Amino acid sequence: MDDKRPSNGKCKGPLVFQQQEGELVLHSEGSSSPVTGHRELAIQASKLGTPYLLSFVGMAEVFGWDPRTPIVANCDRSRVLSTWASFCGGLIPSEYQINFATVRHLTPRQFVHKLSNDLAVSGVVAGENYRFGYKAAGDATELMRLCNEYGIQARIINCVMDQYQNPVISDSGNLKDRGQVSSTRVRAALAKGDITYVSKLLGRPHRLIMRPNEGEMFHISGSSSKFSLSVPKSCALNLLPKEGLYDKCSLLYADEKSEACQVLIDSENLYLQLDGSSVYNFESLHLLGIDFGD
């Protein structure tokens, strides 16, 4: 993952704490949908200054977790964050990443000291279930107390609850799951192929980003009235939905040009069915996006 730190190594703004490693469960659409967790945190942080989303990288290596495909492709994160500007007083949140191995042994006090002295943080915003410090010794109440001691503004936000709970997906057996919107829920919904539920959780269509690996390319077949674009699943930069047929999708390419399409996912490939009106040379593409809508 690329280093997202500011060039001077300091934030000089409010930090938004994310619970997962670099996961963006980003809500970017209109006010008629529920505001999901991270965007609500960023909205509150923007009242204190330009918000920075803090995430810890390298947690999987430290704890021996299996690598996980991201929900949002790394190259697509800035686009999603930019959609928050209208909710954050015109401010686009930036990202700030810390190598987890360098801070994992810090006590809660030492961690807040680092925020104040090393990063020049002006404020922090976290969810009510946030834990920090070695062995997660600190909770939201401790964070508030220490920030007050160090002269850092702090706000604790209630969890944003899932108003569209799918009982099959929601009953995950996760003891930390109290019905709040989370990346775990989004992953489960994608694994079930429930695109309607995914869109409600995210507040936007799930965008899949595809990039050919070395020696691979996108293939076109079919007639002039209807053709199919074939893409190996190995080209995906973020999480795929379950194998199956998906209607009402959009193919995005060449500076956000869009084509309505139908997507079929099998064990090895994605097949995008498009009409023959498009004359673009899709085989020459090095990157494309697919919005899974409903």
How far is it, in rounded angstroms, from Cα 81 to Cα 94?
8
Q: Residue 192: name the closest of 237, 238, 246 by CA.
A: 246
Beta bridge partners of 267: none
Tens of pLDDT along 220-238? 776 655 778 888 999 999 9
Examine the pLDDT at 77 and tell me if it is beyond 70.
Answer: yes
Specify the pLDDT at position 31.
Answer: 27
Residues 6+ apart with CB under 8 A from 271: 228, 229, 230, 231, 263, 264, 265
Question: What residues are paired with 261 via a beta bridge?
Answer: 249
84-141 confidence digits (pLDDT tens)? 888 889 999 888 888 999 999 999 999 999 999 998 898 999 888 888 999 999 999 9
Instruction: Enter the tokens of residue 171.
Output: 């009953």
Alpha helices by DSSP H, listed for the chain, are: 37-46, 59-63, 77-82, 108-117, 140-149, 167-170, 183-192, 195-202
CB 183 within 8 Å of CB 177: no
pLDDT band at 29 (very low <50, low <70, confident <90, very high): very low
